[in-house]
Structure 1
Amino acid sequence: MPIDREALRRKLQESFFVEAKERLQAIDEIHSEWMQHSISSQSIESLFREVHSLKGAARAAGLHEQEALCHDWEHLLAQARHNPDLLSDDKVRWSMQQHAELQKLCHSIVDTPSTQVQVAPHEPKSSAKGTVRVNQQQLDELLHSTNTIKQVQQQLSTLQRKLHSQIRSRDVDMQRHQRSDSVVQQLHGLLPKFSAQQQSLVRELLSYADWAQVQFRHHHDKLIEQNRELSELAQQLRRDVDTMHEQLEEILLQPAARLLDGAAAMVRDLADNAHKTIEFVSFVDDIQIDKRMIDELRPVVTHMLRNAVDHGIVNRGVINVRLHASMAGRFELTISDNGRGIDIEKLYQVALKQGAISPEKKNLSERDKQLLMFASGVSTSDMITEVSGRGIGMTITQEILERIGGKLKIQSKPGQGTQFVIDLPTSMSTFQAVVVRCEDDTYALPALSVDECIRVSEQDITSVKGHPTIEYRNQQLAIIFLRDVLGYSRSTQSQDSYNIVIIHVHQESIALCVDELIGDQELTVKPLGAPLHTVQLIMGAAEDSRGYLTPIINPNDILRIIRLQSPSQHIASERSQRVHKQGRILVVDDSFTSRGLLKSIIEAAGYLVTTANDGHEAWNILKQNEFDLLVSDIEMPKMDGFVLTSKVRADHALNSLPVILVTALQSPEDQTRGLEAGANAYLVKSSFEQDSLLDAIARLI
């Protein structure tokens, strides 16, 4: 039988990818050790062995480019094994560049590598345990189906309990029937006293009563038997579903350290580009967490580390990351730096300028001011860059944490640094929720945010400054009506009592009034897809076993609304945001290709675009027409972008025009020069993404 060489080649390359992924991770850890400590002979030897093994694997898979890269890398390390002093700072950087290049080459082999999962089959003792490759999406769908079955099982148990309750009520009826037996016997004794016609009627009545008694007992016994069978079935289903669910969750568990893959290298690169000296230190307990949790948290870790480098540490400092188990089924992620801390007053002023605070709510507490960091478009950075400044990173971070059931605590002191502590579940399969009703609609509240559900009478409600208020644990809480927050009309009917859900958000308590408390439920969460993922107040939807979706209310949004603006203003602002303003933008670039690309991206977002070939032409256009924003290259003939920006800032009629510089110049000196010229945003073409540009435009217009 001839060998299928193409199939063999693919198999070898897939095997190489799996091996390379593990070895490259080991290499990254060695590089991180070099940056934190001195270079030891043992670490050089370990790195040499990893690279040598990679070269042999690449040769076997027929990957000549990867083999050649490893050969040059191995040559340097072979010399350094005997003379460690050869590994100067430049050589270490070169080694890290080889690592990054090899990662890119490896990812080009397999576009979407499958997830390796351990199999626990029922197999003969002589068989060796192995691995199979399972597509991650299929595994997620299987787990979702298991959660749905689990909900069916829970509803089945609820049905069984209702049936048991009916049987108990039937027991009372059975006792009544038994007491009626004496009445039937008395009627039998009185028969001779009746006339013949009356006796016939009474006998027919007694015959029907006897038959009804027999039928009642028969159905009662049958109901008891069916309840017993249903109970056994529900218990068996619960055991099987729980076992299957636990096994699937175990398959998805991975070492928590995977969350920090590449984090040290990223901090190192960001620090180098910013000309800062930053030490990255990590402490990770030996714990396992859900792979989906790791995937969700990576953007959170990335953003917080970028913030620490760009906003926190000035010139030299330390970033600490700690992962440890906090309690059963939960863990804590702590990210801290010893930098400048959060400038709360600057954050407050930026929020005022951006309109994130309503005019009548300007007098905010320090805690409320700190909450402004989660408002979209609010950033203390003086310029928008690829690293930071768009004011959406913390917004996205909070959205992710709310979606996966995380709790965030922030501590910051000026000049001493900032610490973020995130409490998270190790798994994210199901969602514990308190389900409530508002008019005819049902909503879910995250159970982690709910302190207590209470019912208060009209007499327990007092008025403080015109707001209905209740006393809860020695503090006065203003009642927030869910109807107002969601935009329903307020009920005019008087009530004797009110259903209150006490929500705890960012160390604050909120008394949320709902129409009805339905109860606690365990639900399967479905994230909101585009374009619904940006909708305020709703963080997702929970699906029950019948396929019905219940919106999940975002408690943090409720707090933001009542702290920064009134519910009615929130509804009005939501409606006003739907009206799209078609801004006019001038795009300046001497490259026909770049100019056409920028024009296409911006026009596709709904803006009106005018183009210019260089700064001189752009200046003439600006003097003759009105624009809402200027997007400019820097290196252009006649007049470059720096000069054009300076002229705009010096002109009385144009000095308020927002300017975005999109350029290939990426050094810190160039970015500083752009800031000094008066640019509002600085985006680098080499790492350019259209979302970065559109986010900057949306924020500045």
Structure 2
Amino acid sequence: MGKYNESLRKRLLVAFTAEAGERLGNLADRLAMATPPVDPALLETVYREIHSLKGASRAVALGDVEILCQAWESLFARIRKNQQEFNQQHLELCRQAEKMLHHLIKHPDAKAPDSLPMLCIQLESDSLATGEPDASATFPQEEAASDSAQVLEDSTSPLPPIGPVNSKRRLKVDVTSLDTLLFHIEDLQQSKLEAVQTHSHAEEAANNFTEWHRHRHNIAIACRQIRQQSEHLKQAIPDEQQTLLEFSDWVIDYLGQWEYRLSILARNAEQVARNIATASEALHLEMQNVLLLPCNVLLEGIPVMAKEIAQASGKQINLTVEGDSLTVDKRILDELKIPLQHLIRNAIDHGIEPPSERLVAGKSAAGILSIDFSQDDASRFVITISDDGRGLNADKIRNKAVEQKILNEEDASDLSDQEIYHQIFNSGLSTSSMITDISGRGLGLAIVRDNIEQIGGQVQLESTPGQGTSFSMRLPVSMATFRALLVKVDEFIMAIPAQAVIRAMRLPLESVRTIENRMTVTVADRVLPVWRLAEILQLDGETERRISGTRLQTVQLYAAGKDFCLQVDEIIDDTEIILKSLGPQLIRVPNILGATQLGDGRVIPVLNPQDLYQTACATAHSSITMYSEEAPGQRSKILVAEDSITSRGLLKTILENAGYEVTTANDGMEAWSMLRQSDFDLLVSDIEMPHMDGFTLTDKVRRYRSLSSLPVVLVTALQSPEDQERGLDVGANAYIVKSSFDQVNLLNTIRQLL
């Protein structure tokens, strides 16, 4: 044929490179996971892939690629003809051939490596099993055909018989086109929510005419009575009354027409909402099916990476995969690539032992690394990465956490081994004594947890020393839509992803306590920190927030591996939302995951629970003042006499949280002066104070006529029976010892005295 069309060749080469890349990636992973005896089905797959690559390379005039594939085919043809066992040498030779093929395809116009002829000789040599290449073998001199239309049949290595053709037809589509289509479908999902909201408003407007019916009836009776009275008296109706009667008749008729129109509008809105919902759900379901990919897509390149890391570390591994045919949303799989790579690196570098160490421990020389995919329920699935290595060292992690001040020694010693294991998710914590290009910086597992929680998943781990470690990631199957809890904070409506919400609660005042100047609540026998969401998001400049009523509206969340509570002004509803990104200009906004549009058109932020916890930990103490609905002037006034700044501040916070108006004095003398100058409803006093102690202060109060009935509560470190008896002798109404201090007991005592 005529001169080869270079322009056509370049276009064909682009297509060939893309196709060959997919085929080689599949080959590389399969060969990396293979161990003798090799599954015959794997050999058949490799044989077919090589044959397909040989034919495709001939079409784009890549002679070196065709020659290598020809030699590689010869190896498989010889093994099949002689019924030889595919051994470890064959496997290593195939891996070398795959790497050489990858290089030739990646650099199609470069000169072939000098090692190519020898590799082809080894592939074609009959003495491969002995490891001695046949010296008489010659490098094949066959030239690749230059005409893309010419197709040559290989008579020396026939293609194995082809199995049944898959009835499903597939079409390759640009990912950006799918993204655009998905964007429009999400817009339709939003229209569905808006249509539902419109129907709700129309139905509400139609139902409001029920109230009008009652007034229309009364107006009609009044108009009829006026006309009957005028006829009875045979008097003309005054012009003003006649105008009102005519207007009433017109209004009744006009509103009757609108009632009918609104009822029709409500029915039509319902039908439109139903039609949009049907179309939206159908498109959404079909799009989900399009986006559903088998989990083996996630594993592309993982076996090769694992094998290379093991070789670089002087270790041996056998990688097993189960359940990778499970289908999951492509967007979820895309987000899992980096976490999976980190977990594989950690398992090989930290978990799997060197062969010599494993043999001493009674294990096989090669470590077992398994990846298992399983369906958890209709909407979630689980990925489990486990190894049979040395497991986690709780003492080593505990010491490292204390050394890096992630935990103090007391907390670290109180935690169980399982709780200590979860500390490895903290950024910067690594038990590795050396930083390498594989691990040692303490960032990998922190990234894993962050990425998993970002898409609504959770990570759990289990480890047994000497037996291995297992990481389980529970994840949503799809991320097109998800539910969120709508809350109101300082007149702003916000959404919290439902995946992070444990429960929404209205807590009584008695469950709110102050520990180390931090607000806490007790939920299911667990003490959890509680922060004001408005304070975390800096929606106001106040350091205190007064909450009306006797109950606190809170949301318990789980994020960053922690349970915590957020106080909000109002819990509105649990609803379905469509999460939208903030655009390229706002790729990363602290505390904000994205945005969503409500059915009424309002755009609200979707909060990031993980960021909220980290921001909350960095904020100053949160003070929430609870008060009843009574006017400020009617609130009980309490004077606190305490010389310790810490104790004085703690008592003030507790009492103000309970809704009391609190004044403080630095010692007994100052308190005595303030008692005579202002009115108070109760005195809380320490005993050991400078200038005037609590016993003397109480005695003076009882002897002063205008203060003799003032309730006095002594809160002190003195706990001997003699001190308690003296306190009661001088007139104290209650005696509370600080060593057994309970704020609930204090508040109950004060309520009884007031």
Mark yes or no: TM-score above 0.5: yes
1:330 is aligned, of 377, 380, 383, to 380
State whether structure 2 residue 167 is matched by structure 1 residue 167: no
Give the Å deviation of 1:501: 0.8
C-alpha separation in 1, matches of 2:49 and 2:242: 99
C-alpha separation in 1, matches of 2:530 and 2:44: 66
C-alpha separation in 2, matches of 1:175 and 1:305: 73
1:251 is aligned, of 290, 294, 309, to 290
Secondary structure of the corresponding residue to residue 391 of structure 1: coil
Give the Å deviation of 1:388: 1.1
Which deviates the most, 392-401 or 524-533?
A: 524-533
Partner of 2:24: 24
**Aligned 1:454-469 pairs, distance under 5 A:** 454-458=505-509, 461=512, 468-469=519-520
271 and 188 in structure 1: CA distance in 2 versus 1, 3 angstrom threshold: same
58 and 187 in structure 1: CA distance in 2 versus 1, 3 angstrom threshold: same
Partner of 2:620: 568
Deviations 1:144-165 (A, max 9, x none): 2211221222022012112212
Secondary structure of the corresponding residue to residue 73 of structure 1: helix
**Aligned 1:474-623 pairs, distance under 5 A:** 474-487=525-538, 489-496=542-549, 497-505=551-559, 509-526=563-580, 537-542=591-596, 550-558=604-612, 567-568=619-620
Aligned residues: 548
Partner of 2:339: 300
Deviations 1:90-111 (A, max 9, x none): 54223213324434555678xx
Are the counterparts in 2 of residues 281 and 320 from structure 1 also a CA contact under 8 Å? Answer: yes
Aligned AA for 1:96? R
Give the Å deviation of 1:422: 1.0
Secondary structure of the corresponding residue to residue 249 of structure 2: helix
Q: Any stretches of 5+ residues in structure 2 without a counterpart?
A: 109-166, 355-365, 623-754
Aligned AA for 1:439? D
Secondary structure of the corresponding residue to residue 385 of structure 1: coil
Give the Å deviation of 1:524: 3.1
Are the counterparts in 2 of residues 148 and 544 from structure 1 also a CA contact under 8 Å? Answer: no
Are the counterparts in 2 of residues 409 and 506 from structure 1 also a CA contact under 8 Å? Answer: no
374 and 106 in structure 1: CA distance in 2 versus 1, 3 angstrom threshold: farther
Secondary structure of the corresponding residue to residue 314 of structure 1: coil
State whether structure 2 residue 233 is matched by structure 1 residue 181: no
Deviations 1:164-191 (A, max 9, x none): 1221121221233124322221111112
State whether structure 2 residue 389 is matched by structure 1 residue 339: yes
Give the Å deviation of 1:467: 5.0
554 and 104 in structure 1: CA distance in 2 versus 1, 3 angstrom threshold: farther
Deviations 1:274-304 (A, max 9, x none): 1112111111154211122222111111111
**Aligned 1:171-250 pairs, distance under 5 A:** 171-192=210-231, 199-250=238-289
Secondary structure of the corresponding residue to residue 376 of structure 2: strand
Are the counterparts in 1 of residues 556 and 563 from structure 2 also a CA contact under 8 Å? Answer: yes
Partner of 2:488: 437
Aligned AA for 1:24? L
Deviations 1:670-699 (A, max 9, x none): xxxxxxxxxxxxxxxxxxxxxxxxxxxxxx
C-alpha separation in 2, matches of 1:454 and 1:412: 35
C-alpha separation in 1, matches of 2:462 and 2:568: 33
Aligned AA for 1:70? C
Secondary structure of the corresponding residue to residue 283 of structure 2: helix
* Structure with larger Rg: 2
C-alpha separation in 2, matches of 1:345 and 1:531: 45
**Aligned 1:372-411 pairs, distance under 5 A:** 372-411=423-462
Aligned AA for 1:330? R
Give the Å deviation of 1:141: 2.5
C-alpha separation in 2, matches of 1:196 and 1:360: 98
Aligned AA for 1:321? I
Secondary structure of the corresponding residue to residue 230 of structure 2: helix
Partner of 1:261: 300
45 and 524 in structure 1: CA distance in 2 versus 1, 3 angstrom threshold: closer
Are the counterparts in 1 of residues 26 and 300 from structure 2 also a CA contact under 8 Å? Answer: no
C-alpha separation in 1, matches of 2:395 and 2:587: 30
C-alpha separation in 1, matches of 2:621 and 2:54: 64
TM-score by length of 2: 0.65
Deviations 1:624-645 (A, max 9, x none): xxxxxxxxxxxxxxxxxxxxxx
Give the Å deviation of 1:66: 2.7
Partner of 1:50: 49
Are the counterparts in 1 of residues 51 and 69 from structure 2 also a CA contact under 8 Å? Answer: yes
Which deviates the most, 6-15 or 517-526?
A: 6-15
**Aligned 1:280-299 pairs, distance under 5 A:** 280-284=319-323, 286-299=325-338
Secondary structure of the corresponding residue to residue 327 of structure 1: coil
Are the counterparts in 2 of residues 164 and 227 from structure 1 also a CA contact under 8 Å? Answer: yes
Q: Any stretches of 5+ residues in structure 1 without a counterpart?
A: 110-127, 571-701
Give the Å deviation of 1:475: 4.3
Aligned AA for 1:53? S
Give the share of equivalent positions with the same residue, in percent: 28
State whether structure 2 residue 478 is matched by structure 1 residue 427: yes
Two-structure CA RMSD over aligned residues (Å):
3.6
TM-score by length of 1: 0.69
